[in-house]
Amino acid sequence: MTEFLLGAALFVLATVALGLVRILRGPEDADRMLAAQLLGTGGVASLLLLGVANGVNAVGDLALLLALLAAFASVAFVTGAKRPRPTAPIREPDRDDP
């Protein structure tokens, strides 16, 4: 059973690695945020699988902390996305400029 759990954790970590590619290449901010959510979810899943496979109960607390941080990151993204981005004022050319 331990080998199965370790294999499942390895599969989840491989999926998370593919999510890292999406963060780096994501065409829009929403794609990057979804990939970051995948990192949080995959990190929680792999931590829980590794904790059960090795018999370490404290890993569950670390997984809960990672899930909380991922939730805060998504809330910060949504609140930042609602704000309008400041734009630089367009300077009109002076009549004396060549």
Q: What phi and psi, each to the nearest 5 degrees, are found at residue 63?
A: -65, -40
Q: What is the DSSP letter of 94?
A: P
pLDDT digit string, tens, across residues 35-77: 778 888 888 999 899 898 888 888 888 888 988 888 888 888 8
The answer to whether residue 30 scores a pLDDT higher than 80 is no
Evaluate whether residue 68 is within a structural domain. Answer: yes
Evaluate whether residue 91 is within a structural domain. Answer: no
Evaluate whether residue 55 is within a structural domain. Answer: yes
Q: How many domains does the chain have?
A: 1
Question: Does the reported pTM lie above 0.75?
Answer: no
For residue 95, what pLDDT is reported? 67
Question: Are the C-beta atoms of residues 59 and 22 closer than 8 Å to each other?
Answer: no
Evaluate whether residue 44 is within a structural domain. Answer: yes
Could you tell me the residue range of the domain that residue 63 belongs to?
A: 2-81
Evaluate whether residue 86 is within a structural domain. Answer: no
Evaluate whether residue 98 is within a structural domain. Answer: no
